Amino acid sequence: MTDAPVISCKNVWKVFGADPKRYLAQLPESHSFDDIRADGYIAGVKDVSIDVARGEMLVIMGLSGSGKSTLVRCFSRLHDITGGVIEVEGQDIMKLSEKELIDLRRNKMGMVFQSFGLLPHRTVLENVAFPLEMRGQDKHERRKRALEVVKLVGLEGREEYFPRELSGGQQQRVGIARSLAIEPDIWFLDEPFSALDPLIRRGMQDEFLRLQAMLGKTIVFITHDFDEALRLADRIAIMKDGAVEQCDTPDQIVLHPATEYVRKFTEDIDRARVVQAGALAQTDAMGDGEPVDATASVKDLAKLLVQDTRAIIPVQRDGVAIGGLRRQDGLDILLEAT
């Protein structure tokens, strides 16, 4: 990942109501979500500032009505924002013409939603090739590209099937393949697996992680499932009443919740499964002996933590020492789960 964000969101508001821009201009700073609602307006997004780095997977989560889907629709300007600035690769998207916006979505952005939205009268291959057809791409070129992404998502051999002949998981793979066909730099996914059975959902998460390891897209992924967020995220943004309560790495969120809401949101999570050695590493004491990898969870290190006699265990990332894990810190987290 580079330092320059692909998406930069500064003090963004999306207010729904009769005259939202005028209302926002006069809004007192002390007004709460409930105060705004009492005025006859809804703050779908409330003063959000967040950046998404190149190659990052940012997971946005929250309860129903928290604003997560509205925020992502603002990122792609499916919703025009009421206030603030959103830049995509340095472009203020509110200043783009309709043609420029269409070009941005067609050439840079892929979108997958909970409803598969497949065309029932078209085959798998035709569904996947559809956005390329809309782009005006040559028939042979779009067929070649569609075949590539169908194979990529594990549907080789089902190119001529119709959606009704596929399982829910397979239909979701078609939706993912269709969004990948345009080779987007930025990928928006709005609860794409929530309608799937648990076993299929787990398999799709595995498939998704495999694709991300291969393709390195910049991804904004919406879910209400914390376990799913923990599996997928580089960072997690937790929303409530249109605002971002906290945005951080999974282990930092469970170790250091920024608000009481986040604490309650994460209180039932097995921290030993989430917290990695790198999050506990301290640079003031590096330790001696065989190091552990920064990405190993406390649960992964359970046997070592119980049996090792070292007070401080070295931690390395990509072969480079980054600090020392105080064995007692790891044991304290491990013992919480027992």
d(CA 152, CA 116): 18
DSSP codes of every residue in 264-284: HHHTTS-HHHH-BHHHH-BTT
Superfamily of segment(s) 272-336:
CBS-domain (3.10.580.10)
Asked whether the beta carbons of 244 and 185 are under 8 A apart, the reply is no
Domain boundaries, the chain: 53-80+96-271, 272-336
User: What b/e string do you get for 174-209 counting C-beta neighbours within 10 Å, with b at 16 or more?
Assistant: bbbbbbbbbebbbbbbbbbbeebeeebbebbbebbe
CATH 3.40.50.300 fits 53-80+96-271, yes or no: yes
Q: Can you give the pLDDT of all 338 residues of the chain as single tens digits?
A: 447 899 999 999 999 999 999 999 999 988 899 999 999 999 999 999 999 999 999 999 998 899 999 999 999 999 999 999 999 999 999 999 999 999 898 888 988 876 668 899 999 999 999 989 888 889 999 999 999 989 888 899 999 999 999 988 888 889 888 888 888 899 999 988 877 778 778 887 888 888 888 888 999 999 988 889 988 999 999 999 999 999 999 999 999 999 999 999 888 889 999 999 999 999 988 889 999 999 999 999 999 999 999 999 999 999 999 999 999 999 999 888 65
- Token digits for 29? 């700073």
Q: What are the two backbone dihedrals, phi and then psi, of residue 209, each rounded to the nearest 5 degrees? A: -65, -35
Q: What are the two backbone dihedrals, phi and then psi, of residue 141, each rounded to the nearest 5 degrees? A: -70, -40
d(CA 279, CA 325): 9
